[in-house]
Amino acid sequence: MVMELEYDRSLYGKEHEAGPFEVTKEMIQAFSQSIGETGAVFNDESAAQTAGYRGVVAPPTLCTLYVRRVELPDINLNFGKTRFHAGQRVQSKAPIVAGDFLTASSHLKEVYPKTGRSGTMVFIVWETTFRNQDGVVVADVQESYAARE
């Protein structure tokens, strides 16, 4: 049986934007420190420049910190009492380095039910595209939230 979900389908095709966010050397270094990342290009400016980068390189998932700075509307899903962060995907397209300014643009990608041993859950997937100051797409991030009965 196909499950009929009720939610605000008018959100499809709408972009929600935020930024620009400055990526500073200090922020990258603090991010690296918080996860115990000791790679030279992620911490040291001269090492990054020797490796051919303009500045200290952001670890590939740093942009995920900015996703929740985009104000997203409630999709008014008529399912589930609890929601949790079920998954995340980062597709890196180009390096992010200290001194970059990122803008974020998010849209509702899909809403779908899935039934497993623990019952039915509905997944809500938002996709955010990050561009740098030159308009270059540097990363796409998908965040999935699961609603459970």
Least CB distance to other proteins at residue 62 (A): 8
Radius of gyration, CA atoms only, the chain: 18
Kindly tell me which of 75 and 95 has the beta carbon lying closer to other proteins. 95
Kindly tell me which of 67 and 147 has the beta carbon lying closer to other proteins. 67
Least CB distance to other proteins at residue 138 (A): 12
CA 109 to CA 81: how far, in whole Å? 22
Least CB distance to other proteins at residue 126 (A): 14
Reduce the DSSP state of residue 133 to 3 states and report it: coil
* C-beta of residue 148 within 8 angstroms of C-beta of residue 80: yes
Q: How far apart are the first and last CA of the chain?
A: 18
For other proteins, the binding residues (CB under 8 A) are 27, 30-31, 33-37, 39, 41-42, 51, 57, 59-62, 64-65, 67-69, 84-92, 95
